[in-house]
């Protein structure tokens, strides 16, 4: 196994160096092009160069944006101001400076409206939505995406329409609404397929695989994840490759119980994210690495990584990351037998999640706190947590009862229909064509009713998961 991991790390390092060389060649090419360009073309190339630098150095990206801004001011290219501000906002967002990112996006919004640049305006609203999502301000996030969608629909901007749907899906995912998330991802996926945009299509595959993983469809999730990873490697998209590697690590740790391979994938992801200065991505993967060490019973290392993750999440205002780190620390303290410390971390997780309107931690925190209170002999707290548990399961029982009532109603309707259809057959025996029509109608009705029942059961199953 050790030799296998060394081989994987060697191959990854070689590929990473090759990808870096490809990026550097593109940077050199654009730098040479800038020296012979002028006017709008020069600004556009500087913006493209800034986007490339975001893959390797946030500082160089900021410097390039500043160069574009200074040149545009010198040349009186006021209509390019919004595009430059949008690029500045993207870089600030990547480094986790969300307040600065929103400031740039708000300025870009105003400038792009004045320039009637509706393509970049739609992109600006989408990027604002992503920042709000990372700040766990989900209502503002959805509102921004909807504005981007409205602009895209009004001006026939198909690509921006897909971008708004994909981003909206990511917010619904963070909120724990996986059905709405899947609906929006599928919408974006089909659009990117029609546009023959293989990279964006692969991004949707990656995101959809995450939902399948949440629904315990591990084989399908892994298949889609590996397919997406291959495209990211071919397209040299290191940011998305970092996401894919993190998700692979999570699957191998939580589902395939291969801690060594999981840690390897996480380390690869961390290497990419550290190189790009992707603070949010670093916070996530650091917490996941800590969880592997917790699984290996290396508690000192586990808490070291949890603390690093929590520090970054707090610094950039990433509530989702903070909740994750708190929860992992709560579980680790529980495994250590320190139930009071575990409760403190779980309470912090619950408080952070509730403040951000995240529901995915409700059940695991509740169950972990019941275990802790039982171990501590704290009957009052156990009963308090058990009441929460019971109320949740009462609501589930209510949904089951409603489903049973719906099924019963459908059966009664079918029983009422059956005699009428039999009489119709007797009266219309001579009219074979009409009889066939009635049979087809009945069969269709039964199929629709069956689909309705199965769909209701499926929805209930998803809610339980």
CA angle 159, 214, 160 (to 5 degrees): 10
User: What's the CA gap between 394 and 408, in Å, rounded?
Assistant: 21
Buried b (16+ CB within 10 A) or exposed e, 325-357: bbbbbbbbbbeeeebebbbebbebbbebbeebe
- Across the range 200-220, mean pLDDT stands at 95
- Across the range 209-225, mean pLDDT stands at 95
The pLDDT of residue 343 is 97
Q: Is residue 463's pLDDT more than 50? A: no
CA 228 to chain centre: 14
311 burial type by CB count under 10 A (0-12 exposed, 13-18 middle, 19+ buried) = middle
Q: How far is CA 360 from CA 3, 31, 187, in A?
A: 38, 46, 24
Q: How does DSSP classify residue 360?
A: T
The pLDDT of residue 5 is 42
The pLDDT of residue 402 is 56
pLDDT band for position 453 (cuts 50, 70, 90): very low
The pLDDT of residue 465 is 40
Asked if residues 43 and 86 have their Cβ atoms less than 8 Å apart, the reply is no
Residues 343 and 419 in one domain: no
Residues 372 and 284 in one domain: yes
Residues 301 and 328 in one domain: yes
Give the range among 145-149, 181-185, 282-286, 383-387 with minimum mean pLDDT.
383-387
Give the mean pLDDT of the chain.
Answer: 86
Residues 44 and 100 in one domain: yes
The pLDDT of residue 276 is 85
Residues 102 and 44 in one domain: yes
Final residue of a domain: which of 84, 116, 148?
116
Number of domains in the chain: 3
Cα–Cα nearest to 393, from 362, 371, 348, 368: 362
User: What's the CA gap between 391 and 388, in Å, rounded?
Assistant: 5
The boundaries of the domain holding residue 421 are: 393-464
To which H or E segment does residue 384 belong? helix 379-427
Residues 405 and 442 in one domain: yes
pLDDT tens per residue across span 267-319: 999 999 998 889 999 999 999 999 999 999 999 999 999 999 999 999 999 99
pLDDT tens per residue across span 238-260: 999 999 999 999 999 999 999 99
User: Could you tell me how many residues make up the chain?
Assistant: 465
Final residue of a domain: which of 344, 377, 410?
377
- Across the range 144-170, mean pLDDT stands at 97
Strand ranges inside 342-390, DSSP E: none
Residues 112 and 49 in one domain: yes
Q: Is residue 193's pLDDT more than 60? A: yes
Would 225 be classed as within a structural domain? Answer: no
Would 258 be classed as within a structural domain? Answer: no
More confidently predicted of 116 and 456: 116
Would 132 be classed as within a structural domain? Answer: no
Q: Is residue 368's pLDDT more than 70? A: yes
Q: Is residue 144's pLDDT more than 80? A: yes
pLDDT band for position 131 (cuts 50, 70, 90): very high
Q: Is residue 153's pLDDT more than 70? A: yes
Q: Alpha-carbon dihedral of residues 139, 141, 145, 147, nearest 10 degrees? A: 70
Final residue of a domain: which of 51, 85, 116?
116
Would 101 be classed as within a structural domain? Answer: yes
User: What's the CA gap between 67 and 43, in Å, rounded?
Assistant: 9
Q: Is residue 403's pLDDT more than 80? A: no
More confidently predicted of 33 and 434: 33
Strand ranges inside 227-338, DSSP E: none
Q: Is residue 424's pLDDT more than 80? A: no
pLDDT tens per residue across span 33-76: 888 999 999 999 999 999 988 877 888 999 999 999 999 999 99
Q: Is residue 432's pLDDT more than 60? A: no
Residues 50 and 109 in one domain: yes
Would 332 be classed as within a structural domain? Answer: yes
Give the range among 208-212, 231-235, 319-323, 435-439 with minimum mean pLDDT.
435-439
- pTM value > 0.75: no
The pLDDT of residue 33 is 87
Q: How far is CA 361 from CA 31, 131, 243, in A?
A: 48, 22, 22
Asked if residues 119 and 160 have their Cβ atoms less than 8 Å apart, the reply is yes
Q: How far is CA 77 from CA 35, 112, 390, in A?
A: 18, 13, 64
Residues 369 and 398 in one domain: no
CA-based radius of gyration for the chain: 27
The pLDDT of residue 11 is 45
More confidently predicted of 4 and 294: 294
pLDDT band for position 8 (cuts 50, 70, 90): very low
pLDDT band for position 106 (cuts 50, 70, 90): very high
Structure-block tokens of residue 4: 């296998």
Would 189 be classed as within a structural domain? Answer: no
Residues 399 and 361 in one domain: no
pLDDT band for position 419 (cuts 50, 70, 90): low
């Amino acid at each position: 196994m050790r030799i296998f991991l060394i081989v994987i790390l060697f191959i990854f390092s070689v590929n990473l160096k090759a990808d870096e060389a490809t990026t550097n060649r593109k940077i050199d090419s654009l730098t040479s092009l800038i020296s012979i360009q002028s006017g709008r073309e020069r600004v556009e190339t500087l913006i493209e160069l800034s986007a490339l630098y975001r893959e390797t150095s946030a500082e160089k990206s900021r410097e390039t944006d500043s160069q574009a801004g200074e040149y545009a001011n010198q040349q009186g290219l006021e209509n390019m101001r919004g595009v430059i501000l949008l690029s500045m906002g993207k870089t600030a967002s990547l480094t986790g400076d969300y307040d600065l990112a929103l400031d740039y996006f708000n300025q870009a919004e105003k400038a792009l409206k004045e320039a009637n640049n509706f393509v970049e305006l739609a992109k600006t609203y989408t990027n604002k939505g992503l920042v709000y999502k990372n700040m766990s301000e989900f209502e503002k996030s959805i509102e921004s995406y909807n504005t981007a969608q409205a602009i895209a629909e009004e001006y026939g901007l198909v690509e921006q329409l897909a971008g708004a749907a994909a981003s909206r899906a990511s917010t619904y995912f963070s909120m724990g609404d996986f059905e709405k998330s899947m609906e929006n991802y599928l919408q974006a996926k089909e659009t990117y397929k029609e546009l023959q945009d293989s990279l964006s299509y692969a991004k949707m595959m990656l995101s959809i695989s995450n939902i399948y993983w949440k629904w315990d469809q591990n084989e399908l999730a892994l298949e889609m994840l590996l397919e997406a990873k291959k495209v990211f490697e071919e397209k040299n998209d290191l940011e998305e490759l970092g996401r894919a590697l993190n998700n692979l690590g999570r699957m191998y740790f939580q589902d395939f119980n291969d801690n060594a391979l999981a840690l390897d994938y996480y380390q690869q992801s961390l290497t990419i994210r550290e190189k790009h200065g992707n603070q949010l991505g670093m916070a996530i993967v650091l917490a996941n690495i800590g969880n592997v060490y917790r699984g290996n019973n290396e508690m000192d290392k586990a808490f070291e990584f949890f603390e690093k993750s929590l520090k970054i999440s707090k610094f950039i205002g990433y509530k989702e990351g903070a909740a994750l780190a708190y929860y992992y620390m709560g579980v680790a303290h529980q495994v250590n037998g320190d139930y009071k410390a575990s409760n403190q971390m779980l309470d912090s997780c619950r408080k952070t999640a509730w403040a951000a309107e995240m529901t995915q931690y409700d059940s695991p925190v509740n169950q972990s706190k019941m275990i802790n209170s039982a171990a501590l002999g704290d009957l009052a707290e156990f009963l308090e947590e058990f009441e929460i548990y019971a109320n949740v399961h009462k609501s589930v029982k209510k949904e089951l009862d409603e489903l049973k009532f719906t099924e019963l109603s459908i059966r009664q309707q079918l029983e009422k229909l059956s005699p009428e259809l039999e009489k119709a057959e007797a009266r219309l025996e001579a009219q074979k064509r009409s009889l066939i029509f009635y049979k087809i109608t009945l069969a269709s009705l039964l199929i629709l009713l069956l689909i309705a029942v199965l769909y209701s059961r499926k929805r209930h199953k998803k809610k339980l998961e």
